[in-house]
A = this chain, B = another copy of it.
Amino acid sequence: MIPRNIINLGVFELEKEISQAVIRRMPRYYRYLGELIDAGVERISSGDLSSRMNVTASQIRQDLNNFGGFGQQGYGYNVKYLYEEIGKILGLCERHSIIILGAGNLGQALANYVDFEKFGFAIIALFDVNPDLKGTKIRGIKIHMLEELDEFTRSHKVDIAALTLPKSKADTVASHLVSLGITAIWNFAHVDLELPDKNVIVENVHLSDSLMQLSYNIVKDKPYQRF
């Protein structure tokens, strides 16, 4: 039983903070390995994987070795084993319950997204202020009124709160969630949350930012009038 970012160096255990650059790539490895399993591939070398994924073999080996030696010299990696180990590293073997704050289009879209369950994420409730939605269900998941939130968090274990509400309400709701003991927020609101507790984990999905990046890449070579 060792924490997943502690590398055992014989007698010593050295805690290493793994860079977010590495973490960002792990789900992608996981995805490709899943596809290899579906394709019936049993083993793969870092070289093979690197040409499929357009990254260097060096990077793959370095990334994986942050967490341990999962391969075997002269053989490569067992696809299924590596897939499972990355799953464990990413916490996909544990069940994570999610509540969605804001049952608008995006909130409902997330609630309808079945694939999350495959990875251990279960959406257990939505919340909104719109009384028309009261009692409505999305794929069997109930939409509650926001005032029921406190009671709900007392009676249910909530691991993640997804924020799919207007940015004007995001900060207030987020702070309230933190006061209720929520420690992880998946933020779709178009703001950087300002939270009372620095230990809360926030993962942002800023769709407008993403679209602007796309836009930049479209226009970058076109001339523009600066002055």
Contact = CB atoms under 8 A, between A and B. Distances in A.
Interface stretch (A39-47, A57-65, A143-151, A206-214): A206-214
Interface size class for chain A?
35 or more
Interface stretch (A20-28, A72-80, A126-134, A173-181): A20-28
Given A91-B219, A105-B112, A190-B31, A201 B214 contact: yes
Interface string A186-202: 10001110000000010
Given A1-B223, A88-B224, A184-B214, 8 more contacts: A4-B219, A20-B213, A28-B209, A91-B212, A91-B215, A91-B216, A120-B215, A186-B210
Contacts of A48: none
Given A31-B190, A109-B108, A226-B68, A211 B203 contact: yes
A218 B183 contact: yes
A3 B203 CA distance: 34
A203 B207 CA distance: 11
Given A119-B212, A215-B90, A3 B205 contact: no
Contacts of A210: 186, 203, 205
B105 A208 contact: no
Nearest to A89: B216
Given A208-B116, A208-B119, A226-B85, A3 B221 contact: yes
Interface string A1-38: 11111000000000000101001101110110000000
A145 to B, nearest CB: 21
Given A108-B109, A217-B201, A221-B5, A226 B88 contact: yes
Given A27-B206, A226-B68, A116 B220 contact: no
Contacts of A220: 3-5, 18, 91
